Structure 1
Amino acid sequence: MNMQHRGGSISGSRIHEIKAGLDTVQWGAFDGSTKPVCHVASGDIIDIECLCHHAGDAAELLMDEAIRAIYDGIPEETRAPGVHIITGPIYVEGAEPGDTLECRVLNMRPRLKYGVNFAGSWGLLHEAFGAKEHVIVYEADINAGVARAVYQYEYDSPKRAIPGRYTKVDPAARKPALEGFVVPLRLHFGTAGVCPAADGPISTVPPGPHGGNVDNREFVAGTRMFYPVQRKGALFWCGDTHFAEGDGEVNGTAIEAHVNATIQLVLHKGARGRNPILETAEHWICHGFNEDLDEAVREAVLEMIALLQTEWGISRMEAYSLCSVAGDVRVTQVVDGVKGAHIAIRRDMKR
């Protein structure tokens, strides 16, 4: 790995707190002109509040006073060009284009115990379901490690294009949902990353080399994502948090929920990959992004080949072989315009 850690001792890290508020969140955009909400050194730890953009679908369960103030305080016409609420940016001292920013997820916990799955018009099978949009509200049971459905209802407003709108639903229209079923909890970031190199507001919807809306359900506590730095200071945002998600995210969303997280940002001088790399206790996971899913898969495999060459000193053909005989290629998501794929390889294969 051609990188060197820069900064003070990790054990001597400073701790910062970033609460979600009108002055610390953006709705729908990464924008390099945004004033940083916090300056950190490499190795610093940040307690950060992250919000979902679907709280209006069950406001009585998914809003507290501070969340409602954000929903009421950000004009609808400014929630663009994307849809997600992200907290930041965080300026990392010493970060320059060509470096790598590592985000270690130390802890994730629900702010409120409810979340929403929204079957949207952008979902894979929207037309097959009669072009109907649909909501299921879930309740998290942290002690049991599962979520259970609370109720469901159809959503047919023509104004869904505006993110975060309050949904008015007759209580009689709410029906029981998935009685007797549980969904394993996997609290994770749907959207996180550094600021893209391009100027102006950049949509939070498509993922890319900067990260963004990667929607990898493996990005849980105990894992670390490595991002190619695009701008001075890196300018890191995170948000769009989830209780659970399946690979593919086929109906349009995960269980969208508010999550408070503790992260550690570590700067490495030098590049590691062209796209974000996720490292878990057992695997390296490389990503590919393209409107064509075949091309997204191809890009992910090429990224993994390059990583294995660097990490293990093997030839390109040897790395290609390992990708075929031991790599697991998965579809990250198919609903964000730019599709995502990833490939996972065990880190303990070289002995």
Structure 2
Amino acid sequence: MTGQDIDFTKSGVSRFPNRDLGVPRFKCEVGVPLAQQKELGHNRFHPDIPPLFECDPGDEVILETPGYDDYQLRDQDDDSDLNFDLTRTHPLAGPIRIRGAEPGDLLVVELLDIQPLSGIGYSNILPGMGGPLKDWFPNGFKTVWDLHGIYATSRQVPGVRIPAISHPGILAVAPSHELLEQWNRREDPLIETGEAGPRAEATDTAVLRTLEGEEWARVAAKAARTIPPRENGGNMDIKNMSRGSKVYLPVFVEGALFSCGDLHFAEGDGEITWNAIEMDGATWVKFDLIKGGMARYGIRNPAFRPSPVDPNFGTRYISFVGYSARGDEQRYLDATMAAVDAVEQAIDYLTKFGYTPEQAYTIISVAPCEMHVGGIVDIPNAAVTLSIPVDIFDQDILPTA
């Protein structure tokens, strides 16, 4: 039998008609901003966004989404597109209404698969948004990744091959009106000091599925940006929430109203530059419900069972230890300072092997690095470790005598 003899089909999830599993698939048109295919989803959180689809516990769906940049970045070496409109992040698919879901339940989301669409990824140090070391890189740094099979490579960061731990940066349910108001109350003061992302300064970029006119304006004025993680899940950016994971999301509204997006090909713990290897892609999920699960298990924020799939590096890492003390500066059990201290040491180290600080910072953010709290009890110093897998490099980066 030749390939020409096979009757291929695009229906369901199989190319073969007699093996069509019939899973609903909601398609994203590659290269087209969400505002031009708004029926697919939304880029704000609000309980009044109309559902894309309704299903039962036990059902599966496949949701395709643009990358977090909403197709503003281009596969070109010119970095003029780094200053794109961040108010268009993150384009999400959904919401999906799960029949029988009620406030106080836990929505169980099993991640069956995550795959790229276009095969191109981006991991940029954005000017003014480059994580805790943003002041090091005021001009930013653009990286384009070619996603082929289970590895990603980049012409901007040669000599490394990044294995996939593909995962959705955002898995979320809708907040209740009360929870949404609470978010706005507690975050608005931080917006004034620059410690939280702006909420309503550019409502014209809000995509709210099929809402229009006065309803769109009402919802857009109160809707929450998708940048921080919150009680509903949201932008958690957890690398081990990958294929095979089960995620337990607290339910705040009838139907749960599940959405996802901001897909990552790979990421290190902390996503330290504010970028993983960001990609467009398809997320295949299966739903279940635990009735009354929030009270029964004392869960108020998402919980999850990590993916059983991980790159196998064994003990092949080099680890850096950071403290909440450096030179004359001393802070009390400050795990963030300790984490940044470890990252700075890792950057200095990688520059000894020919990488620029920009390339080193990018590697730490996108490679499957492990960041652990070593101790937060030995006052006054917290200790955090950053471990970099040495086998992603085409040279030996271990110290030698």
Give the structure-2-normalised TM-score: 0.54
Aligned to 2:115: 109
> How many pairs does the alignment contain?
235
Q: 1:252 aligns with which of 255, 258, 274?
A: 274
Shift of 1:259: 1.1
Does the residue aligned with 1:111 lie in a helix, a strand or coil?
strand
Residue 57 of structure 2 is matched in structure 1 by 42
- Cα distance 1:281–1:261, how it changes in 2: closer, same or farther (>3 A)? closer
Structure 1 counterpart of 2:40, one-letter code: T
Hey, what's the Cα distance between the residues in 2 that align with 1:212 and 1:250? 18
* Percentage of matched positions with identical amino acids: 29
Is there any run of 5+ residues in structure 2 with no aligned partner, and where?
1-20, 29-36, 78-83, 182-221, 310-332, 337-369, 374-383, 385-401
Structure 1: distance between partners of 2:273 and 2:90: 17
How much does 1:95 deviate?
A: 0.7
Q: Residue in 2 aligned with 1:15?
A: 23
Q: Give 2:99's aligned amino acid.
A: E
C-alpha spacing 1:94/1:14, structure 2 compared with 1 (3 Å): farther
In 2, Cα distance between equivalents of 1:196 and 1:203: 12
Return the offset for 1:113.
0.8
Superposed, 1:87-166 pairs within 5 Å as: 87-120=93-126, 121-122=128-129, 123-129=131-137, 131-142=138-149, 145-150=150-155
CA distance in 2 between partners of 1:59 and 1:179 (Å): 16
- TM superposition shift of 1:281: 5.6
Q: 1: distance between equivalents of 2:165 and 2:235?
A: 17
Q: Which has the higher strand share?
A: 1
Q: Distance in 1 between matches of 2:75 and 2:46?
A: 28
> How far has the Cα of 1:110 moved from its partner?
1.0
1:193 partner letter = A
2:25 counterpart letter in structure 1: E
Q: SS at the partner of 1:134?
A: coil
Matches within 5 A, 1:1-351: 15-20=23-28, 21-27=37-43, 29-54=44-69, 55-58=71-74, 80=87, 83-120=89-126, 121-122=128-129, 123-129=131-137, 131-142=138-149, 145-150=150-155, 177-197=156-176, 198=180, 200-270=222-292, 271=294, 272=297, 273-280=299-306, 330=372
Residue 141 of structure 1 aligns to which amino acid in structure 2?
A: H
TM-score, normalising length: structure 1: 0.61
Give the SS at the match of 1:126.
helix
How far apart are the structure 1 equivalents of 2:233 and 2:76? 32
CA 1:205–1:294 in structure 2 vs 1: closer, same or farther (change >3 Å)? farther
Are the equivalent residues in 2 in contact too, given 1:196–1:202 (CA < 8 A)? Answer: no
| CA shift digits 1:162-217 (9 cap, x unpaired) | xxxxxxxxxxxxxxx22221111111000111011226311101101100000000
Contact 1:14 1:44 in 2 (8 A): no
Higher helix share: 2
Greater gyration radius: 2
Conservation of the 8 A alpha-carbon contact between 1:14 and 1:45: no
Give the unaligned 5+ runs of structure 1: 1-12, 62-75, 151-176, 284-292, 297-327, 332-340, 342-351
* Distance in 2 between residues matched to 1:119 and 1:17, nearest whole Å: 33
Deviation at 1:87, TM superposition (A): 0.7
Q: Whole-Å Cα distance in 1 between the matches of residues 248 and 22 of structure 2?
A: 21
CA distance in 2, matches of 1:50, 1:210: 19
- The alpha carbon displacement at 1:237 in A equals 0.5
The SS at the match of 1:30 is coil
Deviation at 1:295, TM superposition (A): 9.6
Alpha-carbon distance in structure 2 between the residues aligned to 1:268 and 1:14: 25
CA drift of 1:147 comes to 0.3
2:244 and 2:308 in contact (8 A); partners too: no
3-state SS of 1:225 partner = strand
